[in-house]
């Protein structure tokens, strides 16, 4: 029986920001040409990741990171962003482990839900998040678009 890795919170000053950025870029590369508009990861920098560590939370699995997620407290939920698992480590439950950690963090912060957004085109993500207990709660459009570009998913915190 394997033991699950423990998520480590990245520090704003000493976190592996460059390695986290490299992981996200590798993991999100398959979206190129599939999503419109392009991913916000193109605007992400190590400095922006350090700022996310200050304004919210960045959690990683492994050194160097093999998986990561960003968490941002909002008044009605804990927002989960930039969930990424290195291709060599997929299928081992690491995304689920991070989502369960996000639920524990939401509970600790007194929040009743974890929310995220995924692109309309990424139907495989819709299915994966549905298997993890997320339900579709809405759609939104990026500025300048007259059609939905993202869907919002929510998982209640028990």
- String of DSSP letters for 41-99: GGG--HHHHHHHHHHSEEEEETTTTSEEEEEEEETTEEEEEEEEE-GGGTTSSHHHHHH
- What does the pLDDT profile of the chain (158 residues) look like in tens digits? 356 788 999 999 999 999 999 999 999 999 998 999 989 888 999 999 999 999 999 999 999 999 999 999 999 999 999 999 999 999 999 999 999 999 999 999 999 999 999 999 999 999 999 999 999 999 999 999 999 999 999 999 98
How many residues are present in the chain? 158
Q: Residue ranges per domain, the chain?
A: 8-156
C-alpha closest to that of 17 among 58, 49, 60: 49
Global pTM value? 0.94
Instruction: Please give the pLDDT value at position 1.
Output: 37
What's the fold here for domain 8-156?
A: Aminopeptidase (3.40.630)
Instruction: Please give the pLDDT value at position 3.
Output: 62
Instruction: Please give the pLDDT value at position 41.
Output: 86
β-partners of residue 67 are 61, 85
For residue 127, the Cα-to-chain-centroid distance in whole angstroms is 15
């Amino acid at each position: 029986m394997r033991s699950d890795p423990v998520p480590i919170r990245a520090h704003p000053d000493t976190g592996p920001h460059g390695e986290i950025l490299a992981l996200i870029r590798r993991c999100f590369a398959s979206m190129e040409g599939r999503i419109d508009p392009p991913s916000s990861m193109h605007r992400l920098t190590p400095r922006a990741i350090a700022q996310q560590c200050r304004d919210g939370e960045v959690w990683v699995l492994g050194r160097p990171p093999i998986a990561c997620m960003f968490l941002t407290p909002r008044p009605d939920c804990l927002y989960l962003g930039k969930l990424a698992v290195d291709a060599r480590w997929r299928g081992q439950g690491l995304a689920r482990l991070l989502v369960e950690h996000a639920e524990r963090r939401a509970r600790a912060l007194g929040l009743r839900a974890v929310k995220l957004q995924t692109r309309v085109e990424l139907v495989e993500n819709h299915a994966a998040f549905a298997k993890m207990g997320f339900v579709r709660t809405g759609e939104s459009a990026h500025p300048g678009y007259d059609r939905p570009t993202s869907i919002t998913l929510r998982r209640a915190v028990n």
